[in-house]
Amino acid sequence: MKIHDLSHIICSDMPVFPGTEQPIFQKVNTLDENGFNEAKITMYSHTGTHIDAPAHVLDKGCHLDDLEINYFIGSATVLDFSNIKSQSIDIDCLKAYEEKIKYVEFVLIKTGWSRYWGEEKYYENFPSLSEKAAKWLSQFNLKGVGIDTISIDNSDSVIFAVHKVLLGKNIIIIENLTNLDSVKADNFILSVLPLKNKDADGSPVRAISIENI
């Protein structure tokens, strides 16, 4: 069994979605004063590698804690668009992978954009799904769709149409994935377990791939 970490590390100077705040780590107990170390962590629910719940953008959408635990683990495949010339990943791009998509529960979109993590370029002109491509994907029996960019919608979106299409079908979205090059198997197990928060519209996750070798 081979396990790969597909998550960015969470730290106080990490990239965050424009308009949100970076995490704050405050040491509240120390070995010298209290006999143990403990920190208070303040961060947004969509920090780092994270899951979007339907409630993130839909008024009647379910929260992460409404979903059974098995919803966050399942068979997965990586679709490689790291050489794509267009900013938009459309239906024709996806149809080449239709046979792979049919037999998995999670689709991870590799654009290679995670190499810009920590740079201004990470926030601009990244590849993303078109709304029509999202509608085509939503016809499959998927639990989730992930991508190695800061959003599955394009960088100029203010209505988040792709989010609404996928989340409207209870297909969770995983954003800010990384290290997708490490996954060599066509099919593997993906685990994206969220924190068990009440009424969670999203949650940071430790995304991992599990390959049988």
- Residues marked active site are found at 56
Greatest Cα pair distance, the chain, in angstroms, is 61
Secondary structure of residue 184 in the 3-state scheme: coil
Return the structure tokens found at 4.
């790969």
Distance of alpha carbon 204 from the chain centroid: 9
Residue with tokens 């040491």: 27
Give dist(CA 15, CA 23) in Å, integer.
Answer: 10
Give dist(CA 122, CA 75) in Å, integer.
Answer: 28
Q: Which long-range contacts (CB under 8 A, 24 or more apart) does 126-129 make?
A: 126/87, 126/150, 126/151, 126/154, 126/155, 127/81, 127/84, 127/86, 127/87, 127/88, 127/89, 128/87, 128/88, 128/89, 128/152, 128/153, 128/154, 128/155, 128/162, 129/88, 129/89, 129/153, 129/162
**93, 51 Cβ separation under 8 angstroms:** no
Secondary structure of residue 111 in the 3-state scheme: coil
